[in-house]
Amino acid sequence: MTTPQFIQLYQHNAAAVAQELLQGLSAPQAFTSPKYLYDALGSRLFEAITELPEYDLTRTEAQLMRLHSADMARHLPTGACWIDLGAGNCEKAGRLLGPLRAGRYVAVDISVNFVRQALDSLQRQRPDLPMTGLGTDFSGGLDLPDALALNAAQPRVLFYPGSSIGNFTPDQALGFLQSLHRACGTATGSGLLIGVDLLKDAAELEAAYDDALGVTAAFDLNLLLHINRLVGSNFAVRDWRHLSRFNAEQSRVEMHLQARHAVRVQWPGGERLFAAGETIHTENACKWTVPNFEALLRSAGFAQTRVWTDPAQRFAVFWATV
């Protein structure tokens, strides 16, 4: 049986992380990158969010993949190297590697420790499929290292499910997709398979990011505890509330943490007084229409696109070739 290879590129730089966070917290509209929502507890809370009735994105995407896997197999290349971005537990890609006849699997996440157990398990299920775990931060763009020893003649399928592209503003999304286009290489048939949440009624979208049980609120508020550990600040969860609001002009759901009253937050070498009602912008979830996202893919350099949607057209999966 082939055994997985593991390559860890990203190295935690505490000073750089603290600088990034404090720059955001000191901005006129305070903000943080959504990647800081996902510490160990945040990741578990997000798994719980995907089970909530208000948040059907994950279930709809899985249904769509089941419904259209045979048609996808007719359009995606056989024997391709699948590069799974934000692989986590590898479940989404794991369900497709057989039906879509993958020739190699690369699971990408911030740390190989996040994918090690899942990749070992997946390797036992598919003992002849070469597998690699790659630990890298691709939030600023994807750069595949020479250490992967990719075969330039082998088609690549970059797999980016879950509508994580929604965390980027349109300008950021364009730059990110351009990096994915480059990472697809030049082999005939290569492309990007990407999941995208589609625009819906504003009230429904806001509920999806502010559920009745308060799980999403806990997910958002937990960010404050993570920041405290990373920068030595003294955020108190009780001083803040979670907000979800749909910004129609920007076609996105915004998550914010709002100060319940005036609160002074301190960290080594600095502080900020937040007025009552002032917010920290913690996440965007941009929602797209099919024509708008197809246009974005073309602007990023992709030549042709094919799209599959669920029967209610709530979610879309795009196959975009280089």
Residues 251 and 271 in one domain: yes
What pTM was computed for the model?
A: 0.95
* 191-240 residue pLDDT tens: 999 999 999 999 999 999 999 999 999 999 999 999 999 999 999 999 99
Residues 306, 192 share a domain: yes
Q: In what order do the strands lie in the sheet with 304-309?
A: 5-8, 131-135, 104-109, 81-85, 156-160, 191-197, 315-321, 304-309
Q: Do 161 and 174 belong together in one domain? A: yes
What CATH number did the domain enclosing 83 receive? 3.40.50.150
Q: Which domain holds residue 248?
A: 31-53+202-286
Residue labelled with tokens 């350099």 = 301
- Count of structural domains, the chain: 2
| Whole-Å CA distances, 130 to 6, 7, 11, 120, 124 | 12, 14, 25, 11, 11
Task: Tell me the pLDDT tens digit for each residue of 244-293.
Answer: 999 999 999 999 999 999 999 999 999 999 999 999 999 999 999 999 99
